[in-house]
Amino acid sequence: MRKMRRKGLASMAVQTAESTTNSTKPAVDLGPAAALSCRECGHRVPLGPVFACEECFGPLEIAYDFSAHDTEELRKRIEAGPANIWRYAPLLPVPADVATKPNINPGWTKLVKADNLARELGVTGGLYVKDDSGNPTHSFKDRVVAQAIEAARAFGFTTLSCSSTGNLAGAVGAAAARAGFRSCVFIPHDLEQGKVVMAAVYGGELVGIEGNYDDVNRFCSELIGDPAGEGWGFVNVNLRPYYAEGSKTLAYEICEQLGWKLPDQIVVPIASGSQLTKIDKGLKELIELGLVEDRPYKIFGAQAEGCSPVSTAYKAGHDVVRPQKPNTIAKSLAIGNPADGPYVLDIARRTGGAVEDVTDEQVVDAIKLLARTEGIFAETAGGVTVGVTRKLIENGVLDPSLTTVVLNTGDGLKTLDAVAGTGLTATIRPNLDSFREAGLA
Ligand SMILES: [Zn+2]
């Protein structure tokens, strides 16, 4: 799978090769970001709108210089920072004055201690829900787009674009509107109506593609190599190294909100797999910086059975991920050919976690379970993580005596169809007799 992915990226790596030299001096000011580094071979190139290594076509990541940080000064600076992701600006590829720029400023969402859910699931070590439905466009995607837009600004792009399963489209639309960019985003034509409206309302261009997410993604790869896409910042393609760093803030927040402690176990949904890999990266950085104690943690990946390429590979003991054709109500996770799938397998195995999947019926049950126990209405992806958490506990894989954090990455209002049929208890006439007749007294 990894080889297939790299082959697809080859043309774009060539297209941008002229911007890469051996110098590591940043050409733009993106704070502590020093260069781009290949995840596979370590080859370094200057910061720029590139995402594939010119040597091996591996994915490029941000390389930082954190050497100047004094741990306690850094901790104080973070704690005194704004109640959004920019409190972590010293650890992100953004300019130091990022908080003064027009941005939707996501993050610092609630970490809910879910005692009722813990009782239902038999968790005794402390169960928390990191509820990212509290972001400006009600999904975690605001975190990654907020990063991408700062990179787009630094590189002089004026149009923001992306391929999206829905949530990202809304996040790009909102961020572009606020920051004064044009936006033109591409989605599968048959997404949930809530996500279509949510993406369109910000006034950018929204284009439905007749195909699934992987078709949309392929189209965007063609567009980026065509003159029609010149000057466009694709948040999850040519801005991907910057964009992806936004997911680290979930790890930072979880640890800071736990009192600068690592959780023992984290359950993370898998779409492309990028979020899970960046949560791992964020936790490792906090350990390296001395902001949390150096001790083991386990990362668990969650998929829907109808799109479970990573879970299938994990259970089969494979280290390659075979693409699948998605068929699940969890459309925000419906990526059949997940770019970071092999890295997710590595992380789940290295940390002692696992990757598991649940049926659509179990997703719906889990949405309702979280809603009735904690008052949190999650979108289908949240149903996947809660459902997988339950399954992992039942199977003895996840240890209920340890501190566990479950991610909810989006708002149930966007996926109302998933819980269709949930509604009125009764319809009565406006008098007490009718109320009594309905058995409600
Ligand atoms: Zn490389």
What's the pLDDT tens digit per position in 72-119? 999 999 999 999 999 999 999 999 999 999 999 999 999 999 999 999
Residue-averaged pLDDT of the chain: 92
pTM for the whole thing?
A: 0.92
Helix (H), strand (E) counts: the chain: 15, 13
| Cα-to-centroid distance, 50 and ligand 1 (Å) | 12
| Cα-to-centroid distance, 58 and ligand 1 (Å) | 5
| Cα-to-centroid distance, 37 and ligand 1 (Å) | 8
Ion ligand 1: protein residues whose beta carbon lies under 5 Å: 38, 40-41, 43, 53, 55-56, 58
| Cα-to-centroid distance, 22 and ligand 1 (Å) | 13
For residue 22, what pLDDT is reported?
Answer: 42
311, 330, 239: which is closest to 273 by C-alpha?
311
Confidence of residue 194 (pLDDT cuts 50, 70, 90): confident
- Paired with 268 in beta bridges are 301
| Cα-to-centroid distance, 277 and ligand 1 (Å) | 18
For residue 415, what pLDDT is reported?
Answer: 87
For residue 166, what pLDDT is reported?
Answer: 85
Residue 52 makes CB contacts below 8 A (sequence gap 6+) with 6, 9, 10, 12, 13, 58, 59, 60
pLDDT of 141 above 70:
yes
Interval 213-230 mean pLDDT: 91
Confidence of residue 14 (pLDDT cuts 50, 70, 90): very low
| Cα-to-centroid distance, 21 and ligand 1 (Å) | 14
| Cα-to-centroid distance, 260 and ligand 1 (Å) | 34
Q: Which of 2-6, 374-378, 424-428 has the lowest mean pLDDT?
A: 2-6
Q: Which of 115-129, 204-218, 338-352, 359-373 has the lowest mean pLDDT?
A: 204-218
| Cα-to-centroid distance, 123 and ligand 1 (Å) | 42
Q: According to DSSP H, which parts of 104-165 are helical?
A: 115-121, 141-155
d(CA 302, CA 409): 12
State the pairing for strand pair 33-38/44-45. Answer: antiparallel
| Cα-to-centroid distance, 146 and ligand 1 (Å) | 27
| Cα-to-centroid distance, 258 and ligand 1 (Å) | 36
d(CA 308, CA 318): 13
| Cα-to-centroid distance, 42 and ligand 1 (Å) | 6
Confidence of residue 67 (pLDDT cuts 50, 70, 90): confident
| Cα-to-centroid distance, 214 and ligand 1 (Å) | 24
pLDDT of 197 above 60:
yes
d(CA 167, CA 331): 10
Domains of the chain: 2-68+140-243 (3.40.50.1100), 110-138+247-419 (3.40.50.1100)
| Cα-to-centroid distance, 41 and ligand 1 (Å) | 4
For residue 112, what pLDDT is reported?
Answer: 98
| Cα-to-centroid distance, 241 and ligand 1 (Å) | 14
d(CA 362, CA 6): 35
